[in-house]
A and B are shown apart, each in its own frame.
Chain A
Amino acid sequence: MSVHITSPQFKQNAREALADQPLQKALAKVGPGFIGKRAAAAEKLPEFEALRDSARDIKNHTLAHLDLYMERFEEKARAAGGHVHFAVDAAEARNIILGICRDLGAKTVTKGKSMISEEIGLNDHLEANGIQPVETDLGEYLIQIRGEGPSHIIAPAIHLNKEQVEADFRRVHADLPPERNLSEPTALLAEARGKLREKFLAADVGITGANFLVAETGTSIIVTNEGNGDLTQTLPKAHIVLASIEKLVPTLEDVSQLLRVLARSATGQEMSVYTTFSTGPRRAEDPDGPGDYHVVILDNGRSGMLAGQLREMLRCIRCGACMNHCPVYHAVGGHAYGWVYPGPMGSVLTPSLIGVEKGRNLPNASTFCGRCEEVCPVRIPLPKLMRHWREKEFERHLMPATQRTGLAVWSFLARRGWLYRPMTRMAMAMLALVGKSKGRFSKLPLAGGWTQYRDFPAPEGDTFQAQWAARKNVR
């Protein structure tokens, strides 16, 4: 909900997250919950790796022809009776949507889960203008009533436990009997279903994101398990789709390829429960469906990414597999990343959208273990793109001075072997002597980051190169 950026305080956010016991309890379930299911789904489909190649190629082809597919989409969506709007930035998208709602005299809108809606801070804007947005994805509803942002792109409330949800429901659903039993997740779900059913039926406008936009037919697609997005776009007078430019795909066949890797990578399902293809508004003969259909296509900085290495990031289909497999995400959760998109994909995307000055911590906060790239359904080289941001940071001198100095001293020596060898030899001899009795150090000057949490092993003594030279004549 909030677009407040705390990415520059990543370190502090991380420390707080690590000390947050309920959060740590919730995070302990992330790996076990997602990793095995994805692996099993991939294992069950012998063509899975080939489909990942296919998905990557489709996205690459589309991005290279994005202007033309967007033209085609616009033409087809209009031919089906839809309205297509283009927004250069967040403010423009917010105002377009507000304008549509006002024209319809809308008081309440239901919303399907949309990360771009979070990105542009749509809910705050609607509320400030007297329109009540209601998030209908259960996870989004939970964070909306808490006034929080999502901590995961497909499981926005993954940081919460059921006791917190119970407390929130008792606070917000004050009209319900206080003595009701809400101790089990089933009871919580049933209560949310009842509350949101009223909202679905009463809403004037339904706003969803889009997993894909199909150029061939002018169709927007949403994928859900709850059916909330589908109710959101079917029941109200108008359906507004908010989609960023990289959601385009050429054909129904192409989207079928992508759908084969999306759910498997996200939740380990063969296919999500509801995959809904919407084309234009209700037709003359239709007994249901929205009377108006709008698609708002948002750039917000993405077109610039097409020019270089970062184009690869625009292949992302928002499955969440990268964060599900990330040791850093498992440790600190999504909120620590300080903006809308967490985990490895967020560490690449966030600096692109809010600037490397504010986002510089995120691409640095990775061990480069490579597990994200290993599972990415569209094979985005996430570590490489994080390194790209580290290069920009280095070029622009954004690194803290101590780190930069340390790196410069090390570089100077490493490039001068004649100096490096005697200096390292001397340093090691000294360290070995001091650390001889214990074999390790529990404190070491200039290595506080290390010894705060771990011992540092004492070196054996003379360097390998010196010992080798003593044994043989160096060539």
Chain B
Amino acid sequence: MAPNEQRPVSVGLFVTCLVDTQRPSVGFAAVRLLEAAGCTVSVPRQTCCGQPAFNSGDRTTTRALAEQMIAAFETFDYVVAPSGSCAGMIRTHYPELFVGEPDWMPRVERFCAKVHELVSFLADVRGVTHVTAAYDGTVTYHDSCSGLRELGIQAQPRRLLASVEGLTVAEMPDSDVCCGFGGTFCVKYPDVSNAIVEKKAANILASGADTLLAGDLGCLMNMAGKLQREGRTIRVRHVAEVLAGIGDTPPIGQPKPQSVEGRKS
């Protein structure tokens, strides 16, 4: 499935702090997809790209985390994250942190050019056109804002999903409208965030799909949490899980099958 190449490329997987702590399966799905695309995957020690600090106005911490990130990952051919938000933070915003520093700038720019979101990396850089996976269901795909607007991720996940055996895509209305997560926004302004995710939940249900997918765990946790609070049975997963054919982990917010029956669809 990957194009032929002389030497396997090295990829540093930036798993992101949410996947690391909340849903490691997404990390393993990413590893599987990257290896299938001819990459040698390493996972250097890591914490966070600094986005929460950046969006809270704390430049000092952001800068420290950016330096930490660059030092940990700059030796790889590519740096890949299963998140448009984190990859976007690095690619489009890291350079802002080093403006006017000629000692840093070339290094930062070299680094940023290597950073990609997982699905767009597979499709655009590795030329992956189809995956070997099966999924029995109708999925609807939410375009997370940073991936969509900072990195132009829209067609790639849909193209790869179309190659999954047994899977049908049903678009929701306004798939490109924010889900109301917004990082710390959702806890700083819970009422407003809730009003936004309520609309999103209604649009998800209007698609008629039995599974919701997206490329960012923050948005997914927000939407899953809302749908489940409303008592909906729709399954919620990271797009990488479906593309990698990892179906043994219960959907987000569902218990493992041995304790309670998780899937009702």
Given contacts A390-B57, A439-B255, A468-B27, 7 further A-B contacts (CB under 8 A): A14-B192, A327-B178, A330-B196, A392-B57, A440-B228, A455-B229, A455-B253
Task: Tell me if B182 and A366 are in contact (CB < 8 A).
Answer: yes
A402 CB → nearest B CB, Å? 10
A420 CB → nearest B CB, Å? 5
Across the two chains, which residue of chain B brings its CB closest to A435? B255
- 17 inter-chain pairs at a CB distance below 8 angstroms, sorted by A residue, are A327-B177, A327-B199, A369-B177, A393-B57, A403-B184, A424-B17, A427-B21, A436-B256, A439-B255, A439-B262, A440-B225, A440-B228, A442-B229, A452-B194, A455-B224, A463-B21, A467-B28
Across the two chains, which residue of chain B brings its CB closest to A361? B189
Task: Tell me if B197 and A395 are in contact (CB < 8 A).
Answer: no
Task: Tell me if B21 and A454 are in contact (CB < 8 A).
Answer: no
Q: Which positions in B face A, CB cutoff 8 Å?
A: 15, 17, 19-25, 27-28, 42-48, 50, 52-59, 61, 64-65, 68, 145-146, 149-150, 177-178, 180-197, 199, 221-222, 224-226, 228-229, 249-250, 252-256, 259-260, 262
A301 CB → nearest B CB, Å? 21
* Contact residue among B185, B225, B253 (Cβ-Cβ distance under 8 Å from A366): B185
* Contact residue among A328, A364, A438, A449 (Cβ-Cβ distance under 8 Å from B255): A438
Task: Tell me if A439 and B250 are in contact (CB < 8 A).
Answer: yes
- A368 contacts which chain B residues (CB < 8 A)? 55, 145-146, 182-183, 185
Task: Tell me if B221 and A449 are in contact (CB < 8 A).
Answer: no
Q: How far is the CA of A414 from the CA of B221 in the complex (A)?
A: 21
Task: Tell me if A367 and B185 are in contact (CB < 8 A).
Answer: yes
| Of A98-106, A119-127, A169-177, A405-413, the one with at least 4 CB within 8 A of chain B | A405-413
Describe A's contact surface by its main secondary structure: helix
A431 CB → nearest B CB, Å? 9
Task: Tell me if A371 and B149 are in contact (CB < 8 A).
Answer: yes
Task: Tell me if A390 and B192 are in contact (CB < 8 A).
Answer: no
Q: How far is the CA of A264 from the CA of B108 in the complex (A)?
A: 39
Task: Tell me if B188 and A403 are in contact (CB < 8 A).
Answer: yes
Task: Tell me if A414 and B47 are in contact (CB < 8 A).
Answer: yes
A50 adjacent to chain B (CB < 8 Å): no
Which 4 residue pairs of A and B lie closest in terms of their CB atoms, listed nearest first?
A: A367-B182, A454-B225, A449-B187, A394-B57
- A457 contacts which chain B residues (CB < 8 A)? 22-23, 221, 224-225, 252-253
- B259 contacts which chain A residues (CB < 8 A)? 436-437
Q: How far is the CA of A14 from the CA of B42 in the complex (A)?
A: 46
Q: How far is the CA of A461 from the CA of B48 in the complex (A)?
A: 19
B95 CB → nearest A CB, Å? 12
Task: Tell me if A439 and B256 are in contact (CB < 8 A).
Answer: yes
Task: Tell me if A415 and B145 are in contact (CB < 8 A).
Answer: no
- A454 contacts which chain B residues (CB < 8 A)? 194, 197, 222, 225-226, 228-229
- CB contact under 8 A between A371 and B178, given known A365-B185, A459-B21: yes
- B44 contacts which chain A residues (CB < 8 A)? 474-475
A6 CB → nearest B CB, Å? 16
Residue of B24, B150, B183, B188 with highest tally of chain A CB at under 10 A: B24
* Contact residue among A438, A452, A458 (Cβ-Cβ distance under 8 Å from B260): A438
Q: How far is the CA of A331 from the CA of B259 in the complex (A)?
A: 39
Task: Tell me if B190 and A453 are in contact (CB < 8 A).
Answer: yes
A450 adjacent to chain B (CB < 8 Å): yes
A199 adjacent to chain B (CB < 8 Å): no
- Residue interface bits A189-215, CB-to-B below 8 A is 1, else 0: 000000000000000000000000000
A373 CB → nearest B CB, Å? 8
Q: How far is the CA of A459 from the CA of B18 in the complex (A)?
A: 10
- A15 contacts which chain B residues (CB < 8 A)? 191
* Contact residue among A389, A390, A403, A414 (Cβ-Cβ distance under 8 Å from B65): A414
Task: Tell me if B146 and A370 are in contact (CB < 8 A).
Answer: yes
- A389 contacts which chain B residues (CB < 8 A)? 57
* Contact residue among A387, A395, A424 (Cβ-Cβ distance under 8 Å from B21): A424
Across the two chains, which residue of chain A brings its CB closest to B201? A454
A183 adjacent to chain B (CB < 8 Å): no
Residue of A365, A390, A460, A464 with highest tally of chain B CB at under 10 A: A464
- A475 contacts which chain B residues (CB < 8 A)? 42, 44
Across the two chains, which residue of chain B brings its CB closest to A15? B191
A446 CB → nearest B CB, Å? 10
Residue of B22, B42, B177 with highest tally of chain A CB at under 10 A: B22
A462 adjacent to chain B (CB < 8 Å): yes
- A467 contacts which chain B residues (CB < 8 A)? 24, 28
Across the two chains, which residue of chain A brings its CB closest to B187? A449
* Contact residue among A374, A395, A447 (Cβ-Cβ distance under 8 Å from B187): A447
Within 8 A of B (CB), among A251-298: none
- B61 contacts which chain A residues (CB < 8 A)? 407, 411, 414-415
Q: How far is the CA of A14 from the CA of B180 in the complex (A)?
A: 14
B234 CB → nearest A CB, Å? 13
Q: How far is the CA of A368 from the CA of B196 in the complex (A)?
A: 13
Task: Tell me if B256 and A387 are in contact (CB < 8 A).
Answer: no
B240 CB → nearest A CB, Å? 12
Across the two chains, which residue of chain A brings its CB closest to B96? A384
A428 adjacent to chain B (CB < 8 Å): yes
Task: Tell me if B56 and A450 are in contact (CB < 8 A).
Answer: no
Across the two chains, which residue of chain A brings its CB closest to B196? A327
B49 CB → nearest A CB, Å? 9
Across the two chains, which residue of chain A brings its CB closest to B15? A464
* Contact residue among A370, A394, A411 (Cβ-Cβ distance under 8 Å from B150): A370
- B256 contacts which chain A residues (CB < 8 A)? 436, 439
B68 CB → nearest A CB, Å? 7
A72 adjacent to chain B (CB < 8 Å): no
A323 CB → nearest B CB, Å? 14
A18 adjacent to chain B (CB < 8 Å): yes
Across the two chains, which residue of chain A brings its CB closest to B254? A439
* Contact residue among A370, A437, A461, A464 (Cβ-Cβ distance under 8 Å from B19): A464
Q: How far is the CA of A139 from the CA of B254 in the complex (A)?
A: 50
Q: How far is the CA of A202 from the CA of B48 in the complex (A)?
A: 66
Q: How far is the CA of A290 from the CA of B61 in the complex (A)?
A: 60
- CB contact under 8 A between A420 and B47, given known A327-B196, A369-B182, A394-B56: yes
- B58 contacts which chain A residues (CB < 8 A)? 391, 394, 407, 411
Across the two chains, which residue of chain A brings its CB closest to B249? A460
Q: How far is the CA of A455 from the CA of B201 in the complex (A)?
A: 13
B127 CB → nearest A CB, Å? 27
A417 adjacent to chain B (CB < 8 Å): yes
Q: How far is the CA of A374 from the CA of B150 in the complex (A)?
A: 10
- Residue interface bits A353-366, CB-to-B below 8 A is 1, else 0: 00000000000111
Q: How far is the CA of A456 from the CA of B46 in the complex (A)?
A: 24
Task: Tell me if B253 and A458 are in contact (CB < 8 A).
Answer: yes
- CB contact under 8 A between A387 and B191, given known A369-B149, A420-B47, A457-B252: no
